[in-house]
Structures are given as structure tokens and as C-alpha cells.
Structure 1
Amino acid sequence: MPSLTPPKPSHPPPPNWPPEIHYLTAPFYGGLPSEVVSLVKSKRAPPNHQPSANVEIKLVTDPQHPAFGQRGLYAKKKLKQGELILWYTGHVHLDPEPDPKLREEREKSDYDLTLVSRLDSLLPFPLALSTSTDATPAPPPPPFWNSLGVAVDASKCGNQARFINDYRGVPPILSSSSKSTPSSAPPPSKKGSKSTTTSKKAPPAPKSKPSAFFHSVRTTSLDVPPVLNPDKTTPSERAVKEGELRMGIFVLKEEGIAKGEEILIR
């Protein structure tokens, strides 16, 4: 059985990295069948990467934050809409796992993301859908490939991206103008006079919004073009002969993400 022990990283982890989590500088494919690795990793994989200069790991200090006292991911510089923030690295595995024990672990993980839902969609596109009678037909994929996918889990090993928090329940960032806006409550009535104002319901509390999104892409480089539409990925884009299938985190907000702002995923 292939080793499930992650490899030693090629460089030290970034500041505030927890010692109990194994730091990765590239995706870990331990336990993934070799025929699947050849489709996911392909011929030209990106090089190992250094900790991202776009982000930093910090402790969450806001008591109203759902992750108070835990870690979050914050922008170290202004990030533009569509920009790749960093790659989401972890243990790449079959989804669902064939082993019942591992399957149960994945189902309980909050860090497990689907790279692709069907293995047969990773086949080179012309071979997967070719109907030409002139060419020698490619051997059909195993029948179970249409019910298995590939996912990446960063619960036990990963990179900075594993510390990104969900936007739900996070207090919104108030602008300086909203902080200084005078109260809209009516002035108190004079003593002895009857108030003619009617009480207004308090406006609903503002909600936080996501600033980033997950998006799986093929790449031979650690830099990729901006992605402005998170839903625009076709099977032909994933089924290429070169490049590694990876999960990226891209900027969602039209105005971008400000320096020092926590990056929140949708």
C-alpha cells in the first residue's frame, strides 16, 4: 500500500503555523492510484511553492467572530478581483474513499474540497468524446470512474490556504463613513409634551460578504490568468494533456480585498 505519510517540505512553514499540522509545499498524492495520479498531475506539474506573499496567518481577536481565538487568513497587500490569491494544497484522494475508515474521516473533515466530481471527465477530451471511425478507439475507462471523483483534504496537511474562514457569521467590516454616521433615532420630546413621532424598527444588522471563491484549474505554472467567473469551467479545460489539476482561491469582490482584511470564502 502506498505511504500515507506526507513528504518533508522543501522549506520552513510560514509564521503562526501550528506544529500539529504537516506543512506542504506541493500536493500530496499518497494512496491515490497511479492511473489517477497520471491524470491529475499529468506531465508538467508546477514547481514547489514558497509561502504566499499575498497572505499571512493571524489569530482572530474579535470575540464576535465564529473563529475567535483560532487562526484566519489575511491579505498582506491589496488584491484585485479575479486575482489568484494562493493554491489550496492538501492530501489528494479518491472521492469517496474506498476504505470505510478513511471515508468516514473525509466526511467529517471541514477541509475537504472536490477537485473534480467524475474521474472520466479527466480523460483527454478528444479521446473521451471522439466518435471518429478512422482513429483507433481509446480503451474505455473503468465503469466505476463515473461514480468516483478526486478531492483535496487539508485537515492534517496543507498550506496557508487551509486557514481561510467561511464568511457566514463573521462581523462585517464597517467603513469609516458608516462608523461616523449620526444616529437616525428621533430626538427626545420635551418634558410635558406628547411625542408625535412614531418609533421605527431598527434596521437589520449588516451581514458580512464573501471576498474569495474556490476554483479548480489546470496549470503548469504557479501563476495563472485572472478568473472573473467562478462558474466558467468546461470539461475540455480540465482534460488537457499537460498541467496539474489544482484548487485555487481567487478574489471575488469587485472592489478587491484591502491590505489587512480577512479573506473570507463563500
Structure 2
Amino acid sequence: MGGHEHHAGGGHSLPGGPLPTLVAVAGLLLLAVAYLLLVRRAARRRPAKGWSPWRTASFLTGCAVVAGALLPPLGTFAHGDFRGHMLQHLLIGMYAPLGLVLGAPITLLLRTLPPRRARRLAGLLHSRPLRPVAHPVTALLLSTGSLALLYGTPLYDATAARPALHWLVHAHFLLSGCLFAWVVAGPDPAPARPGVPARLVLLGVAVALHATFSQLLYGGFLIGVHAPIDQVRGGAELMYYGGDLAELLLAGALVATWRPAPLRARMGGLP
């Protein structure tokens, strides 16, 4: 366990001071308001069908989870304790993306944009340049594979000393988490999304990688993390059990949002 020692970059303040956190939370609030305005427009355009309140609740919950992870008390706890950091990582990188993706924001845009712009967006979603980005392997590497980079190198310690890097890591995990959730269980259209069996295999690989990383972290083999041993082991346990729960929820979402191909064709490919 020689790599586990207290690093001086801790403290119990928000990284970079309160301003970046307030800006991020204000951005989340604007995102939630924009979503609600689009929901209102969708209800006006198609009053008979409207918009699912479950999707609205899911998207707003995702925004609230990110805000709760950034604001005190968790935001300050995470900056001084590795266990808080891991809880923050799970909320931002796994739980919030599931809520945001199940809110089907792309479908909402397709329903509310003018027809010409909606066709452009639909064309972009199925364009060749987007296919490598939305490929399951890319999503897996960006979301789960980046754990090795964060915890197996000096990157984690660097985030404690450099607020800009700290926020970039947050943004990466949120966006990569959304990408992974979208590829695996998103109700929104996606380019060349694989079948359900392939996505279940992908999810199984993610579960195995999370379990491996958490066990290595608990055993002290990822020497890039310099924090007290009890914090590192507590964080590893959070990664193990919290990651399993998040991926179980993602599997449930995959089953809940899956439709047989004939039904999907009759509905025009939109959820």
C-alpha cells in the first residue's frame, strides 16, 4: 500500500472557489429550463400525444444529481476526501447520465424543431463522422477505460492542485457517461446502434472492468492515488457497489426502452 499516503492538495473548499461551481449549477438550471420550454412546445404541437412526464422527471433528476454532486456539502467533502470524490464521480459519471439520457432530449428536439432543422439533426445523427464516436467500443473506452488513466497515473493528484483540470475531468465523465448510456439504453436515435445482445455484452464488459479497477484500487495496486488508506479503500468499495448498482439500472433501462424491430418501424423509428 505504499502508494496510499495523504496528499497535501486536499482541503475542504470548493475547487477554484465558489464561482466555477455557481457557473456550472447556473448552466444546469438553464438546461433544465430549456428542456421544460421544449416540453411545453411539444405539448402544444401534438396535444393528443404530449410528452411523457416520466421523461421530463428523468431529465430533471439528472440535472439535479449533477448539481447535488457539485454543491456543498458533497462538493467540499469530495475535494478533501477520496471517498467523497468517488461518490461525486459515480453521481456525475454514471447516475446523472442515465437520467439525462432517459429524458430523450434529442427526440424532444426532433419534435419541436422546424421540419427543415429537424431533418438536418436527423441526418447528423446518422452521418458517417458520428459513427466512430457513437461506436460501443469508443463509448466504453471513454467512460470506463478512462478510470485507469485517472487513478493509475498522477492525474488524480493533479486535479487536486489544478482546478481547471478538475473541472475538465468532471466534464469528461459526464459527457462520456452520457455517451455510454445513450449507446447502451438511450431511447433517442443513434447511428448503427448494435442489437440488444451486443449491448448486454458491452454492459457486462463494463461491469467486469469496474470490478477490476475497484479491486486493484482497494489492494493498493493503482499507485497514482495518494490518499489515506481508509479513504482509498472506502472509495474502492463505493466504486465496486455503486458501479454495480448503476450498471444494473442501466440494464433495466435497456430492457425498458427496447422495442422489437417491427414495432419500431411502425413508429417511424422514434421512441
How high is the TM-score relative to the length of structure 1?
Answer: 0.27
Structure number with the higher helix fraction is: 2
What is the TM-score when the length of structure 2 is the normalising length?
0.27
Q: Which has the larger radius of gyration?
A: 1
- Structure with more strand by fraction: 1
